[in-house]
């Protein structure tokens, strides 16, 4: 996000403050980010002061609660616990999902056998199956990791599979014309060409993983951020509860934004059109 | 795939998986997996019960209301974002955050705001579905070719006419695509909401069957939901295809 | 400087003499499902010469070239290269793609050396060879650039350098200049002629431009629209020692262009 975008034309000096403001707004994307944050937080503050509900704290109260939880270390501990099943689950889903997706992309038989299953699993409400996990794996880390995998795996598999099916056929022909082996074709052409879409699938998997880990922590047994939410709700500490919810949404947003940034700046899909 | 020269449709592999399931179920390996046939029988039994009918009614009702709200709010907001720069700038950030945020974490907040009843489920469905509808409607409006709007203006069409007859129609394929993904997300929302609230609709039944280890009914219920999600998305997809047929020339 | 005059309607393939054929196309037919792309193609390509396949879009030029390359299987018939029947791609043939087929994630150097990389040639040696061909196609200084940093014309030079680098006897070029603008195209055609002269390889060249075909070819094979068949074979016999601009104004050159146009004209109507 550059401060000055290059495509702004030569502009005459602003005559009025209003014009100056408009100019400023056009040039800086951060202006709009700040403005839209301000709009929502102000609305939140006002709604909290009315108040629209006894269980609706103001924005400033929530911010104070957040600061308190960060200061006393409970927030850090909670994130440490929440991130364990999330990272583990996403990592397993990524390895397994990309491998499965590539196999389905390369083999018509595997496509026939597996694609419908994952199409159903991706469209279906997998959350319904989370309670089942607890029967077999109890309420520990394994159960939560499995919940994450159940939500993250299908989307990663399907994206990887589509990525491989959409590899530039001309590049594959090129590799064949130089007598590349099937192995060389897969590792030197298909996987590098599919990489940006594989990565995009991973990002969607991470988003699904966040949903899964919160579901697990609220449903299976309260730990981590889920515990903060449940506990503060039970003692009617609503500001703390809201702060916990906002923190996990913020954490997921930042994670996804970083992945998105990596995707557009490092994988550079737009530069791949040759 | 082709076998002995015959083309076998892709979805046919689901039958193979159902057979595998049946065999695993009959081998009695884990109590979690009863035979597929037993699940189907349980499903038909279930449909006779008042509790299932009630739960279905409640579930469908909250889903339909939530979706109607999501479409009613999402499409106009998306269209406005596509047309008005300031609205786009102010809402864009939040729509993009919520479209991929872990909304399951928000359900406890909804429970204290809207109570342990249908209202919470309706709002959950709304929140799961609305953002993607907004984004796709916005994308649809933004890709309307300016020449089309200029054409209408040159024939003297009013702003309202242009909006109704040109922009909305030209954006329809994208709007429908958004609604289709919204529907799939809405089904996930209704299930997540009900499971977390746990005293209403299918959530109550899931709770009941899993507590009493009634795996046949549990799976029957799950299959209902899976089937409903697939059927709903197929219906919208069908509508999409028809629209695309008309939009094909653009 | 005169062309073999052949009446287009009564063309007899047996009357065409080919000495030392390096590639022989025998009775090739190709069906894509119910679409008949090629019907009964018999052709011979002379060693060290540039032969052009010329015909309207969709007549099966790419298909024939890919069958010769071993990338696409023929429905019937066979291809013989250096006396051996083709069953797939081989080291004696190299392909230049219409859409360049450059790996966007690899530098010019790696793209040019890719054929050697696949054969397991050590990095030092393949980079040395790649650099020399990069120089030969006029891209010195661009070794570390990526394809998206190059113009269309430069990208195709990379594609041609890559094909030369594997030192194949037969080069198959599928409309290599179709994505290049007119000024660069002429420059390209002259460079191609220089390379044909220098490299002493057999070129099979596909184009749908009559002028381009007449300018660069030793022999032109005219294909008819679907299903593709050989409708005429013309040897332009242009004196290439002359200045390029003079060639394009030469009456002999213009006569051949006119003759081919007359032969193709009824397809356009
Ligand atoms: N992979 C394919 N599947 C089906 N039809 C094809 C395929 N490739 C080419 N064709 C058809 O075969 C005919 C010849 O194609 P092509 O060889 O690409 O022609 P040209 O290169 O002369 O333009 C065309 O009608 C085209 O539609
Ligand atoms: Mg072609």
pLDDT band, residue A36 (cuts 50/70/90): confident
Q: Is C7 domain-assigned? A: no
Q: Is C98 domain-assigned? A: no
Structural domain count, chain C: 2
- For the cut 50, the answer to whether the pLDDT of residue A180 exceeds it is yes
Q: Is C143 domain-assigned? A: yes
- Per-residue pLDDT tens over the stretch A166-178: 999 999 999 999 9
- Per-residue pLDDT tens over the stretch B8-48: 777 788 889 999 999 988 887 777 888 889 999 999 998 89
My answer on whether C88 and C201 are in the same domain is yes
Find the Cα–Cα–Cα–Cα dihedral C182, C183, C189, C194, rounded to 10°: -170
Specify the pTM: 0.86
Tell me the domain boundaries of chain B. 51-247
My answer on whether C159 and C189 are in the same domain is no
Over range A14-40, report the average pLDDT.
75
- For the cut 80, the answer to whether the pLDDT of residue C14 exceeds it is no
My answer on whether C194 and C245 are in the same domain is yes
What per-residue confidence (pLDDT) applies to A26?
66
Complex prediction ipTM: 0.88
pLDDT band, residue A5 (cuts 50/70/90): very low
Look at residue B249 and give its three-state secondary structure.
coil
Evaluate: CB of C217 within 6 angstroms of ligand 1: no
Over range C3-30, report the average pLDDT.
69
Q: Please judge whether A125 and B107 are an interchain contact, meaning their C-beta atoms are less than 8 angstroms apart.
A: no
pLDDT band, residue A4 (cuts 50/70/90): very low
What per-residue confidence (pLDDT) applies to C51?
92
Q: Give CA–CA dist A99/A105, Å, rounded.
A: 10
Higher-pLDDT residue of C31, C263: C31
My answer on whether C115 and C203 are in the same domain is no
Q: Which of C118, C147, C155 sits opposite A184 (nearest CB)?
A: C118
Look at residue B143 and give its three-state secondary structure.
coil
Over range A236-261, report the average pLDDT.
93
Higher-pLDDT residue of C39, C258: C39
Question: DSSP of C163-226, one letter per residue?
Answer: HHHTT-SEEEEESTTTTS-HHHHHHHHHHHHHHHHHH--EEEEEES-HHHHHHH-SEEEEEPSS
Evaluate: CB of C63 within 6 angstroms of ligand 1: yes
- Architecture, CATH, for domain B51-247: Orthogonal Bundle (1.10)
The answer for B 86-105 residues in CB contact with A (under 8 A) is 89-94, 97, 100-105
Q: Which atom of ligand 1 is nearest to the CA of C61?
A: 22
My answer on whether C86 and C181 are in the same domain is yes
Q: Which of C28, C31, C32, C207 to mutate to test the pocket of ligand 1 (most atoms within 8 A of CB)?
A: C32
Low-confidence ranges of chain B (pLDDT < 70): 1-5, 244-250
CATH number of the domain that residue C63 is part of: 3.40.50.300
What per-residue confidence (pLDDT) applies to A126?
86
Question: DSSP of A183-217, one letter per residue?
Answer: HHIIIIIIHHHHHHHHHHHHHHHHHHHHHHHHHHH
Taking CA A142 as the corner, what is the angle to CA B228 and CA A89, rounded to the nearest 5 degrees? 65
The Å distance, Cα C173 to ligand 2 centre, comes to 10
Q: What is the mean pLDDT of chain B?
A: 87
My answer on whether C194 and C248 are in the same domain is yes
Q: Is C255 domain-assigned? A: yes
Is the distance from CB of B244 to CB of A140 less than 8 angstroms? no
* Contacts of A among chains (3+ CB pairs under 8 A): B, C
Query: Length of chain A, please?
Result: 274
Of C122, C141, C167, the domain-final residue? C167
- Per-residue pLDDT tens over the stretch A130-145: 888 887 787 888 999 9
What range does the domain containing C80 cover? 21-92+170-269
Over range A24-36, report the average pLDDT.
77
Evaluate: CB of C59 within 6 angstroms of ligand 1: yes
My answer on whether C118 and C202 are in the same domain is no
Q: Please judge whether A274 and C102 are an interchain contact, meaning their C-beta atoms are less than 8 angstroms apart.
A: yes
My answer on whether C186 and C250 are in the same domain is yes
- Per-residue pLDDT tens over the stretch A65-100: 999 999 999 999 999 999 999 999 999 999 999 999
Q: What is the mean pLDDT of chain A?
A: 86
- Ion ligand 2 neighbours, Cβ < 5 Å: C 62
Q: B and A: touch, per 3+ CB pairs < 8 A?
A: yes
What per-residue confidence (pLDDT) applies to C3?
43
Evaluate: CB of C60 within 6 angstroms of ligand 1: yes
For residue A148, which residues of chain B lie inside 8 Å, CB to CB? Answer: none
- Per-residue pLDDT tens over the stretch C92-138: 999 999 989 999 999 999 999 999 999 999 999 999 999 999 998 88
Best residue in A172, A173, A176, A178 to probe C by mutation, most C CBs within 10 Å? A178
Q: Please judge whether A177 and C102 are an interchain contact, meaning their C-beta atoms are less than 8 angstroms apart.
A: no
- Per-residue pLDDT tens over the stretch B124-148: 999 999 999 999 999 999 988 888 8
Share of chain C above pLDDT 90, in %: 35
Q: Which CATH number is correct for A63-271, 1.10.110.30, 1.20.1630.10, 3.40.50.300, 1.10.3720.10?
A: 1.10.3720.10
């Amino acid at each position: 996000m550059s401060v000055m975008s290059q495509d702004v034309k030569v502009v005459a000096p602003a005559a009025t403050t209003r014009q100056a403001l408009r100019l400023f707004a056009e040039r800086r994307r951060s202006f709009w980010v700040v403005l839209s944050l301000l709009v929502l937080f102000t609305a939140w503050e006002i709604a909290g002061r009315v108040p629209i509900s006894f269980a609706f704290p103001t924005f400033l109260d929530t911010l104070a609660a957040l600061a308190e939880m960060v200061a006393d270390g409970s927030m850090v501990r909670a994130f440490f616990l929440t991130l364990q099943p999330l990272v583990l689950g996403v990592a397993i889903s990524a390895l397994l999902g990309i491998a499965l997706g590539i196999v389905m992309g390369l083999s018509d038989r595997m496509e026939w056998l597996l694609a419908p299953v994952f199409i159903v699993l991706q469209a279906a409400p997998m959350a319904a199956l989370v309670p089942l996990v607890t029967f077999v794996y109890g309420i520990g880390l394994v159960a939560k990791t499995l919940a994450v995998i159940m939500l993250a795996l299908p989307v990663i598999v399907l994206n990887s599979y589509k990525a491989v099916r959409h590899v530039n056929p001309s590049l594959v022909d090129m590799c064949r014309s130089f007598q590349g082996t099937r192995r060389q074709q897969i590792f030197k052409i298909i996987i590098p060409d599919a990489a940006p879409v594989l990565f995009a699938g991973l990002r969607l998997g991470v988003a699904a993983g966040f949903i899964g880990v919160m579901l697990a922590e609220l449903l299976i047994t309260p730990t981590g951020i889920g515990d903060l939410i449940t506990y503060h709700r039970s003692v009617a500490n609503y500001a703390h509860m809201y702060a916990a919810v906002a923190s996990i949404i913020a954490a997921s947003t930042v994670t996804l934004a970083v992945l998105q940034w990596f995707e557009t700046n490092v994988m550079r899909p737009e530069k791949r059109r040759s | 795939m082709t076998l002995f020269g015959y083309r076998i449709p892709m979805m046919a592999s689901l039958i193979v998986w159902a057979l595998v399931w049946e065999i695993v179920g009959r081998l009695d390996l884990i109590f979690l997996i009863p035979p597929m046939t037993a699940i189907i029988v349980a499903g038909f039994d279930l449909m006779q019960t008042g509790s299932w009918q009630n739960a279905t009614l409640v579930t469908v009702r909250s889903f339909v209301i939530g979706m109607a709200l999501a479409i009613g709010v999402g499409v106009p907001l998306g269209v406005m974002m596509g047309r008005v720069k300031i609205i786009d700038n102010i809402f864009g950030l939040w729509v993009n955050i919520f479209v991929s945020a872990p909304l399951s974490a928000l359900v406890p907040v909804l429970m204290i705001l809207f109570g342990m009843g249908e209202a919470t489920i309706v709002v959950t469905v709304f929140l799961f579905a609305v953002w993607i509808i907004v984004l796709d409607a916005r994308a649809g409006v933004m890709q309307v070719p300016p020449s089309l709007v200029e054409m209408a203006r040159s024939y003297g069409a009013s702003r309202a006419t242009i909006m109704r007859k040109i922009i909305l129609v030209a954006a329809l394929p994208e709007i429908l695509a958004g609604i289709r993904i919204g529907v799939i997300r809405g089904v996930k929302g209704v299930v997540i909401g009900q499971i977390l609230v746990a005293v209403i609709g299918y959530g109550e039944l899931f709770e009941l069957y899993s507590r009493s280890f009634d795996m046949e009914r549990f799976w029957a219920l799950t299959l209902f939901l899976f089937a409903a999600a697939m059927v709903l998305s197929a219906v919208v997809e069908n509508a999409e295809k028809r629209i695309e047929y008309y939009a094909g020339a653009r | 400087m005169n062309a073999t005059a052949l009446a287009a309607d009564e063309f007899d393939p047996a009357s065409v003499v080919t000495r030392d054929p390096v590639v022989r196309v025998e009775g090739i037919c190709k069906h894509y499902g119910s679409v008949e792309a090629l019907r009964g193609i018999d052709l011979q390509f002379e060693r060290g010469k540039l032969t052009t396949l010329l015909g309207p879009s969709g007549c099966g030029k790419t298909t024939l070239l890919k069958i010769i390359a071993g990338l696409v299987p023929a429905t019937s018939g066979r291809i013989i290269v250096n006396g051996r029947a083709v069953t797939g791609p081989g080291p004696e043939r190299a392909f230049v793609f219409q859409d360049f087929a450059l790996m966007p994630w690899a530098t010019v150097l790696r793209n040019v050396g890719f054929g050697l990389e696949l054969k397991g040639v050590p990095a030092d040696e393949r980079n040395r060879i790649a650099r020399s061909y990069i120089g030969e196609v006029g891209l010195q200084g661009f070794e570390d650039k990526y394809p998206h940093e190059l113009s269309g014309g430069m990208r195709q030079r990379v594609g041609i350098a890559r094909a030369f680098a594997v030192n194949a006897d037969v080069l198959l070029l599928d409309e290599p200049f179709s994505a290049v603008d007119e000024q660069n195209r002429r420059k390209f055609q002259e460079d191609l002629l220089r390379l044909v002269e220098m490299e002493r390889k057999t070129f099979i060249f596909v184009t749908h431009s009559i002028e381009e075909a007449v300018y660069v070819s030793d022999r032109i094979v005219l294909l008819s629209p679907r299903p593709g068949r050989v409708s005429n074979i013309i040897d332009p016999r242009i004196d290439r020692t002359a200045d390029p601009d003079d060639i394009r104004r030469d009456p002999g050159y213009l006569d051949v262009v006119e003759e081919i146009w007359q032969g193709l004209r009824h397809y356009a109507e």
